Amino acid sequence: MKRVITYGTYDLFHDGHRRLLERARALGDYLLVGVTTDNYDDSRGKLNVQDTLMRRIESVRESGLADEIFIEETDGQKITDVQKYDVDTFAIGSDWTGKFDYLQDYCRVVYLERTPGVSSTQLRAHSHGIVRLGISGSGRIADRFILESKFVSGVNVESVYSSQLASAQSFCNRHELARSTSNYDEFLESVDAVYIASPHEFHFEQACTALRNGKHVLCEKPLTMSFQDSEELHNTAEKHGVVLLEAIKTAYSPGFIRMIAIARSGVIGTIRDVSATFTKIALAGSREVVSEFGGSARELASYPLLAIVKLLGTDLVGLEIDTILDPTNRLDLFTKMHLRYNSAFATATVALGAKAEGNLVVAGTLGSLYVPSPWWKTEQFETRFEDPAHNKKYFFKFDGDGLRYELAEFVSLINSKETTTTFKLSRKESLFIQSVLDAGNVALLSAPNTTESIHVIASIPAPFT
């Protein structure tokens, strides 16, 4: 008797799950199915699992395809299971190709090719309305997003749009999606929601078109190129009753959320200063340093400004900027934004042409809070006091690239059908970030064309005056 083993979460059991089980069963005479526990899913970064373990086990049983069902609850268990159950073949979906090659020392390993798009209708009909997601853009972040989406339950990436059809087709084939197109209207017809990962200058038009067609939108930062356009997007989302979420991944990560709560709880007293830094050396010729819509502020400042608005709010009374521009295209390569509040200060430091220590420091009247680099992937932080004996360290998970956190929040908002905003990044906070970027851009446009450092005083961004 040839024994086959496979594993999965099987949340919101649908036709795609059934077809994989059918193909696994066809590889032998006896099929063993491992269903992951809630704790194990959490430990490996699987988010938004909706069905209970018992419901998921029952769904597999009701399929009639499993001869034996057991639970998977620890790393390394697969090796033990293969030996324990005398398995001949290990089978798993092709989206995990290469991940389990180590099992070849114990049995045959088969990666089952997906049938692109086969389950979309059944997903909608039988699985509580799993979100059919399309991706606009086929660049590096879109590739990372696909990988991260595998860890979020309740969503299925269906299609990709790019103005360059060849690029869309290549992306589609690489990730085994149902369809690719260079026609945006056609693209929207096939999905419930859109992740916009196109270049910055296309965000507004693509997001606005999607929202007006009743599609939920998760859009990469910056949301648009202006406060007015960002405000229009939020108003359009509200008008059509759909979700609009800005994809600043840090805002949705567990460690960052907890850090903000600790800092604002009074543990370190009243916050007097926030200093946040995010820098990197950009690749020569990349859009970041070549496109007129690039520059360090547009590319990176959303992250430090997120920390600042979360810790100090939106009641800004002053904004000054120090920067070094590239004289050939006037893009900012190194920028410091100095934000002044009635009783606190903040500094956001960003750069594409220099590398600094990327930490976050919060100064309070009773102590300080320190988040080491890279603070935007908050995995740990420390509260520090005059007496070091009172210092305390906190540790959290930050799984993968972090894109799964924003996607999980997006899907959760869609399913809740109650709100188009979230406390993790509210409309007001998103618009504040955009307004500061706008004010800085206007000030820099009037600055002299020089290789020397420039200091400008920006207007206090409206309506946050």
Whether the pLDDT of residue 333 is over 80: the answer is yes
pLDDT in tens, 368-410: 999 999 999 999 999 999 999 999 999 998 999 999 999 999 9
Confidence bin at 92 (pLDDT 50/70/90): very high
Q: What pLDDT is recorded for position 126? A: 42
What average pLDDT does the structure give for the chain?
90
Whether the pLDDT of residue 343 is over 60: the answer is yes
Q: Where are the alpha helices (DSSP H) in 73-154?
A: 77-84, 120-126, 140-149
Percentage of residues in the chain having pLDDT higher than 90: 73
Q: Which residue has the higher pLDDT, 293 or 211?
A: 211
pLDDT in tens, 159-208: 999 999 999 999 999 998 999 999 999 999 999 999 999 999 999 999 99
Nearest to 32 by CA among 95, 80, 104: 80
pLDDT in tens, 99-146: 999 999 999 999 998 766 544 444 444 445 689 999 999 999 999 999
- Name the phi and psi angles at 113, rounded to 5: -65, 140
Q: What is the pTM of this model?
A: 0.83
Query: What is d(CA 193, CA 188) in angstroms, rounded to the nearest whole number?
Result: 8
Q: What pLDDT is recorded for position 124? A: 43
Q: What pLDDT is recorded for position 420? A: 66
What integer is the mean pLDDT of 246-262?
95
Query: What is d(CA 197, CA 421) in angstroms, rounded to the nearest whole number?
Result: 20
Q: What pLDDT is recorded for position 325? A: 84
Whether the pLDDT of residue 288 is over 60: the answer is yes
Nearest to 422 by CA among 408, 443, 442, 403: 408
| 260 Cβ contact partners less than 8 Å away, ≥ 6 residues apart | 307, 310, 311
> What tokens appear for 423 in the block?
């406390």
Q: Count Cβ atoms within 10 A of the Cβ of residue 64 and give its class: 0-12 exposed, 13-18 middle, 19 or more buried.
A: exposed
Q: Which residue has the higher pLDDT, 326 or 142?
A: 142
In the block, residue with structure tokens 């809070």:
369
pLDDT in tens, 431-464: 999 999 998 887 777 766 666 678 778 777 766 6
Q: What pLDDT is recorded for position 441? A: 81
Cβ–Cβ under 8 Å, residues 248 and 303? yes
Is there a cis peptide before residue 199, judged by omega within 30 degrees of 0? no
| 59 Cβ contact partners less than 8 Å away, ≥ 6 residues apart | 10, 13, 17, 51
Q: Count CA within 13 A, CB hemisphere, residue 229.
A: 18
Strand order in the sheet with 108-112: 68-72, 30-36, 3-8, 89-93, 108-112
Q: What pLDDT is recorded for position 116? A: 60
Tell me the three state secondary structure of residue 354: coil
Which has the minimum average pLDDT: 2-16, 111-125, 252-266, 312-326? 111-125
| 207 Cβ contact partners less than 8 Å away, ≥ 6 residues apart | 194, 196, 217, 219, 223, 224, 233, 244
What integer is the mean pLDDT of 221-240?
95
Percentage of residues in the chain having pLDDT higher than 70: 94
pLDDT in tens, 32-68: 999 999 888 877 778 888 888 999 999 999 999 999 9
Instruction: Give me the domains of the chain, ranges plus CATH numbers.
Output: 3-112 (3.40.50.620), 130-247 (3.40.50.720), 251-458 (3.30.360.10)
What integer is the mean pLDDT of 229-258?
96
Nearest to 299 by CA among 308, 291, 288: 288
First to last CA, the chain: 75
Q: What pLDDT is recorded for position 152? A: 93
